[in-house]
Structures are given as C-alpha cells and as structure tokens.
Amino acid sequence: MQVKEFKPLIVAFCCNWCSYAGADLAGNNRLNYPAEVKIIRVPCSCRVNPMFILRAFQRGADGVILCGCHPGDCHYTSGNYYTRRRMAMLFSMLDFLGIERERTRVEWVSAAEGAKFSAVMTDFAATVKALGENKRLEDLRCKK
C-alpha cells in the first residue's frame, strides 16, 4: 500500500469583524497558507460553543483554531474576553484528558493582519501535521 502524505484537516472559526476580514486581506495580498485550513464565519469568537470544537474533532478534524479580535478590540466590546476564558478552560480540560494541547489554539488576528493570518495558519497547520492524525478525540464511526 502506498503511504499517502498526511494532510491534516483544520477548522478555523473566524470572527466576521476581524480574522475573517484578515483572511480576506491575506487573499487580497495573495499570502499563501495551507488549503487544509477551512474557515467558518461566526459573528464573534464568543459565538463558538465548545460543542462545535468537539464536533469538528468528532467528524475528523485534526486541529481547530479560533480567531477573534485582539482583546480590547471586540466589535461587541467584550465577546472575545469571554472567548478567552472559555477557551482557556476548555483547552485546559482537553489537556487534562490527555488530548494534545497543540490541536487547539486561539489567535487574535485583526482585519489588518493578513500577513499574520497567513503565518498563523501556516504555523498551525505545520504543528498539527507534526502531531499526526487526531486519534484521541476521534469517532471511529465517522472515519471514511
């Protein structure tokens, strides 16, 4: 059997007001990043329920990244502060259960940071790729 190169599947939840626009800017400037990254638009990073993250892992994602406005810059003034607490706690819990902490990440990317968006996604994809397939939070039923 031929060994296929492992391509991680990465779900990126992006705040409509900053990181999603940052991704657009990365596009405008043709700043490449791995195609494994698939973006889901949310109104604010605080819209992201831990259930969505677990769902992504269940369905076969190898990494989940959440991007929001820099603290202090939230379009809704405080949404990303709640995100910060929720995700800090969630990630710590996943780590507690022995799930690789590098599989989840929160990054603050503003609408002006196209280069940062591209760099963050490139780095995250490389990190997840190095980790290999998500085994610890997989649902065998969802495997192809």
Among 47, 115, 119, 131, binds another protein (CB under 8 A): 47
Q: How many residues bind another protein (CB under 8 A)?
A: 78
Distance, CA of 112 to CA of 57 (rounded, Å): 30
Q: Is 124 in the site for another protein (CB under 8 A)?
A: no
Distance, CA of 132 to CA of 75 (rounded, Å): 35
Minimum gap (Å) between residue 107 Cβ and another protein = 9
Q: How far is CA 55 from CA 58, 91, 105, in A?
A: 5, 15, 16
Q: Measured from the CB atom, is 1 or 51 closer to another protein?
A: 51
Minimum gap (Å) between residue 53 Cβ and another protein = 9
Minimum gap (Å) between residue 92 Cβ and another protein = 5
Among 18, 19, 33, 120, binds another protein (CB under 8 A): 33
Distance, CA of 71 to CA of 126 (rounded, Å): 26
Q: Is 4 in the site for another protein (CB under 8 A)?
A: no
Q: Measured from the CB atom, is 38 or 132 closer to another protein?
A: 38
Residues 64-123 contacting another protein, CB under 8 A:
71-73, 75-79, 81-82, 84-101, 104-106, 118
Residue 103: name the closest of 73, 74, 131 by CA.
Answer: 131
Instruction: Name the amino acid, one letter, at 109.
Output: V
